[in-house]
Amino acid sequence: MNKTSTLTSNDAIVSENGQNQITWKTFIAISKTGIVKSNLITTFTGLFLAAVYTGTSLSNDPLTVLLTLLGSAFIIAGGCALNNYIDRDIDHLMERTMERPSVTGELKGKQILTYGLVISALGTILLALTTIMAAVIGLIGLFVYVVLYSMWTKRTTTLNTIVGSFSGAVPPLIGWAAIDASLHPVAWSLFLIMFIWQPPHFLALAMKRVDEYKRAGIPMLPVVAGFKVTKRQIVWYVAALIPVSLTVAHFGTVYTIVASLLGIGWLGLGLASYKYKDDVKWASHMFFYSLIYMTVLFILMVIVHLF
C-alpha cells in the first residue's frame, strides 16, 4: 500500500542521563501514517457513497464522520504497530524499516504491543459508536492483517500478498457500514476494486525491494519465482481491475471514461515491461502509477456524486 514515517535520533528528547525519552513522534513512527492516510481516502469514499445511497446528509451528522475516520485511523494504526511488534526481529534487515523505533530500541517490545492493542481497542470502540457492523468489519480486517498476514503467511508463502489484500480492502466497507450496516452491493464493488488493486501495487514494491525481502527471508513472489513470473502476475491483475472498476459504471459517463483510461494506461505501462532493460525501474513506475490510480479513482467517485 505507501512509505512509513521514521524517527531519527534527532527527533527524540534526550534526558540528563543520556537516555532517549519517548515522545508522541515515536509512536507516530510505528503507526505508518502513510498507510493510515491512504486508507482514510477509501474509508471516506465508502462513507460518502453510503450517505448518497441512503439519502443521509453527512453535514447534518458530523459526529458519525468524525467517529468513522478516527476509529478507522486508530484501528489501522494499531494494526501497523502490531505488525512492527511482530516484525522487529527482521526489520533491521530491510533498509526501509531499519530505522523504526522498534529496531533502534527507542521503544521496547512491550511498549509497542501495549500501544498497538490499546489504540486498536480504542478504534474499535469509536467504530462501534456508529454501527456494530463497522466495528466488526474493522476487527476482521485487523485479525486478517495481524494474525493471518503478519504472523503467518508473510513468512511462509507467496500468497501473503493475497491474504494482505483482504485487510487492505476493508476500509471502504467500514466507511459504508458506519452509515448502512446492510452493505449495499456498491460497497462490495469498492471492496473488490481495492482487493484487486493491491497485488499489482505490492508486487511492484516487492520487485523494488527484492534484495531486502531476500535478506529478511520473506517469500515474496519476485524472491521465490523471479521477475518474469511477477511481471506476468502484475499485468494479469491490472487487466482484471479494468472490468472490476466498471462494476460501478452507473456512477456516470465521467467516471466510466476516467476509470477506463486510468486502467488502460496502467495496463499499457505493464505491457511495456519488455521495453524496459531495468526491471526495477519498471517496477518503480508501476508502483507510482498504482498510487495515482487508487487516489484519483476514489476521489473521483466522490466528485461525480457532488453534481
For the segment 79-128, what is each residue's pLDDT rounded down to a tens digit? 999 999 999 988 888 887 788 888 888 889 899 999 999 999 999 999 99
**CA atoms 48, 50, 51, 53: torsion sign:** positive
- CATH class, 1-183 region: mainly alpha
Mean pLDDT of the chain: 91
Q: Per-residue pLDDT for 6 more than 50?
A: no
Q: Picking from 13-17, 40-44, 175-179, 190-194, which range would have the lowest pLDDT averaged per residue?
A: 13-17
164: Cβ contacts below 8 Å, ≥ 6 apart: 144, 145, 149, 153, 154, 198, 202
How many Å separate Cα 229 from the centre of its chain? Answer: 24
pLDDT mean over 235-249 = 98
Q: Per-residue pLDDT for 15 more than 60?
A: no
pLDDT given for residue 20 in this prediction: 53
CA distance 132 to 124: 9
pLDDT given for residue 96 in this prediction: 77
Q: Per-residue pLDDT for 187 more than 60?
A: yes
Of 85, 101, 112, the closest CA to residue 5 belongs to 101
Helix/strand/coil for 278: coil
**Cα Rg, the chain, nearest whole Å:** 20
pLDDT given for residue 21 in this prediction: 66
Q: Per-residue pLDDT for 244 more than 60?
A: yes
Here the cell at position 174 is: 467500514
pLDDT mean over 181-207 = 97
Q: Per-residue pLDDT for 9 more than 70?
A: no
* Angle between the N-to-C axes of helices 132-143 and 62-86, in degrees from 0 to 180, rounded to the nearest 10: 20
Check if the beta carbon of residue 101 is closer than 8 Å to that of residue 29: yes
pTM across the whole model: 0.90
CA distance 190 to 186: 6
DSSP code of 20? E
pLDDT mean over 34-40 = 94
Name residue 282's amino acid. Answer: W
pLDDT bracket for residue 7 (50, 70, 90): very low
